[in-house]
Structure 1
Amino acid sequence: MKEVPTAEDDSNLLVIILDTNPFVWAESAKAQTPLSLDDALRQVLIFINAHLALKYNNKVVVIASHVGYSKFLYPISDDDVAKHRISGHRNANMYPNFQFVMDQIVASLQELLSETDVSFLQTDTGTSSMITGAFSMALCYINRITKNDELGHIKPRILILSLSPDSAAHYIPLMNCIFSAQKAAIPVDVCKVYGEETAFLQQAANITGGIYVRVENAQSLLQHLMFAFLPERYARKFLNLPNQDQVDFRAACFCHKKIVDIGYVCSVCLSIFCSWSPVCSTCKTKFAFRPMVPPSGRGRSSPAVSSRGSPSLANNNSNNPSPSHP
């Protein structure tokens, strides 16, 4: 990731992608250390207020990664404000900007959950979160804001609060988003609140220079947010923040959308396949030679075929980045 000069007086744009998958939150609420969506939202709102309080020109955006689609929770249009009937009454004991942000986020999330038909989602669209859709929306919003910033004082970053497991079907669009964030020098932080480790989001944090933290105790979510993700990009130069000792760089095959440890990589378009095929299904290249397969009885792979137009046998379970997508 390219270095971007930062200054103490920069405006920090924090885009939060909140996983609102109701199925995973139901499991989290029944875990050994339970954490419901309501409790998590209270802690996230405190974190947002702390980010806004750090500097007068700090900005925040919240996007919901829901089942089947993504939606902006904040900011919302004036029509949505009138639709939600957000009260103009201000609490004298709360900073007005804090209450304004909190009211919009809570109202938008309530509407999102009230419109969710659980029975329809279980039968038609599946139960995976649209992390790629929310990621794309975040990048588009950041691009629009930074284009209007002629002086370059706005320093954006993305924070993903994840609960859902990896979806191999979303591997290609997610890698597109990761490489776009890397090219735009946008760090992607990941807070794994619940569930097993996610290989794809580990790669996102590693490639873009962000921070990946897995929350062991769900009740300490606010503590992790404050200590690991609150510091801005300028302050991170002087802090010893959590880092990743090991990164899972496994990829998903393009043919069956399965996460594979060892795969065949097309030497022309770099598509990944779980089994050898004489023709690449992505770029239609016909391979001239058969690959060198691992000897029987051994677990390690043989050297990759180097001839152009032939698939190479690649081991993705290493600490080297996985091959880029076409």
Structure 2
Amino acid sequence: MILIGLIDPNIENWQKQENPDKLFSNTLFYFHTFLSLDRSNRILLLNDKKIVFDSDTAKLTEIKDILSKFKSQNLSNDLGMSLLLSKRLNLETQIFIENFDKNLDHFKILRCLFTANKLNIQINVVSDNKLLMMLANFTNGIFYENDSFFVKILGNPSKQLINIETRCFCHDKIILVGLTCPVCLTVYCGFMPVCKKCKSKMIFNKN
């Protein structure tokens, strides 16, 4: 599955949120969880009608620096590009919008709503904009104004650790106990001195 993310890069909009650091941290956790559910899953972030992040070639930890290069986002244009990209890729796609801009192009957003319905694409939204709430509702997506989105879509983290099947990165097999990279959170079924995904050295207690 492809998850296309449209993340508001405007720092002022983020600073108006109750806990922007926690919100962004949970966004990255959501992305990591999505990738860990299936090795074929892929995340693309768009801005200015271009792919600015691809999880196949970059790390999630790079997202903050990538977003800092942009001052704003034309959401309606990028949403339209997301739908076009989904049609071109011809793969199961979801769209994730995290946007706190009050000045959106209503007409273009509504056109995207009908197109998303036609393509059967679910759009999940974190925003305080009622127009985007409509977008999520009409595409059978999830809408929340704040951090509650991640509780809704990910559930109780402690329950997830018990109930969700985890596959190791090295052999793609289901495991109950494994070794986790402290940097990118990639899971291995056995000893691994250097993470194969992010190339970080594993640190172990000798006690």
Unaligned runs of 5+ in 2: 156-207
Pair 1:183-2:129 in alignment: no
Pair 1:22-2:6 in alignment: no
CA distance in 2, matches of 1:230, 1:59: 18
Structure-2 residue corresponding to 1:144: 88
The alignment partner of 2:67 has SS state of helix
Q: Is the 8 A contact 2:142 2:149 kept in 1?
A: no
Quickly say closer, same or farther: Cα 1:41–1:138, change in 2 above 3 A. same
CA RMSD, 1 decimal = 2.7
Give the 5 Å matches for 1:1-326: 12-28=1-17, 33-36=18-21, 39-64=22-47, 69=48, 71-75=50-54, 100-110=58-68, 112-113=69-70, 116=71, 129-146=73-90, 154-167=91-104, 170-192=105-127, 197-215=128-146, 221=147, 224-225=149-150, 227-230=151-154
| TM-score, normalised with respect to structure 2 | 0.64
Structure-2 residue corresponding to 1:277: none
1:133-168 CA-partner distances (Å, limit 9, x unpaired): 22012112111110xxxxxxx32111111212253x
CA distance in 1, matches of 2:27, 2:19: 16
The alignment partner of 1:100 has SS state of coil
1:194-226 CA-partner distances (Å, limit 9, x unpaired): xxx4221122112212121222xxxxx3x632x
Q: Which has the larger radius of gyration?
A: 1
| TM-score, normalised with respect to structure 1 | 0.42
CA distance in 1, matches of 2:64, 2:19: 21
Q: Is the 8 A contact 1:75 1:104 kept in 2?
A: no
Cα displacement (A) at 1:70: 5.3
Q: Which amino acid in structure 2 is aligned with residue 42 of structure 1?
A: S
CA distance in 1, matches of 2:115, 2:8: 21
Unaligned runs of 5+ in 1: 1-11, 77-96, 117-127, 147-153, 216-220, 232-326
Of all paired residues, the percent bearing the same amino acid is 19
Name the count of aligned residue pairs.
155
